[in-house]
Structure 1
Amino acid sequence: MLKLMLDENISPALNKPLWEMQVDTTSTRDRNMLKAGDHEVWKVAQDEDRSVVTINYGDFERLARLTPRHAGLVIIPSGRGRDGQLKLIQSVVESVRAENAVLPSFRGRVFKISEDGTISVEQTPDPQAARVALRVVS
């Protein structure tokens, strides 16, 4: 099952409709983590194998690049109301499920949704894999 952690800038009211889509969803507000640092939210999400959904791309994108085999990151544009946020998140969930209906996963990828709803996906490098490759070559 896909698992999400909604950052504080994403409406916690989205939990229910996402659960109805069979997406295990929680939010920083549910966890009493409002005003928690991005690194704290990231750690809890990674410990629970949850992809973070946020509009705050800077810190989370950096954390994704530094975390080997992270659970995923979904970045949506700001300025959307609850319904707009839900539509964008649903589009990413549907896209991931279309790739692999049996084992859908955000793992190791950063999903960025543009203002027009276009989804771009970046596979983040695994720093440990790069180190292993360097050792093998040398």
Structure 2
Amino acid sequence: MIRLLIDECLSPALAAEAFSRGFEAHHVNWLGLTSHSDRALWPQIIGGDFTFVTNNARDFLRLYRGVDVHAGLLVILPSVGTAEQLRLFAAALDAIIAAGSDITGELVEVDRDGTVRFRRYPDPLGND
């Protein structure tokens, strides 16, 4: 089962959307991690076997580059309001479910138009 941890830059409403689809989901605020640096969140993400959900691609791509196995990273690329976050997150969840719900080692990116892309990250061939 995918365990989602949602970054504080995204609405806690995303967790309700995930729950409604059968996913386990937490928001960093609920875990007492509000205002923690990305590096401070990292042990919780990896140690908790969480798929991290963020719109902060740059910082988290750097962190994920250093691990061989992870539970996945879901990036909502544009910085948008709650209603749009929910729409894009729902598109990502639909795509994850359609793909069989295993995104271990995957980077899942959602564009403004709702296009969802999957790719191995880090790329074992070094084509990041």
Whether contact under 8 Å (1:64, 1:72) holds in the other structure is no
1:111 and 1:126 map into 2 onto residues whose CA distance is 13
Whether contact under 8 Å (2:13, 2:86) holds in the other structure is no
Q: Counterpart of 2:4 in 1: which secondary structure?
A: strand
- CA gap 1:10/1:119 in 2 versus in 1, 3 angstroms: same
- CA gap 1:62/1:81 in 2 versus in 1, 3 angstroms: same
Which amino acid in 2 is paired with 1:106?
I
Corresponding position: 1:109 with 2:106? yes
Whether contact under 8 Å (2:17, 2:90) holds in the other structure is no
Whether contact under 8 Å (1:68, 1:126) holds in the other structure is no
Deviation at 1:126, TM superposition (A): 7.0
Q: 5+ residue gaps in structure 1?
A: 131-138
Q: 5+ residue gaps in structure 2?
A: none
TM-score by length of 2: 0.87
1:57 and 1:79 map into 2 onto residues whose CA distance is 11
Deviation at 1:25, TM superposition (A): 0.5
2:99 and 2:57 map into 1 onto residues whose CA distance is 24
Paired residues for 1:1-138 under 5 Å: 1-100=1-100, 104-125=101-122
Moved more, 38-47 or 50-59: 38-47
Which amino acid in 1 is paired with 2:114?
G
1:31 and 1:16 map into 2 onto residues whose CA distance is 16
Deviation at 1:24, TM superposition (A): 0.5
CA RMSD of superposed structures (Å): 2.0
Could you say which structure has the higher helix fraction?
1
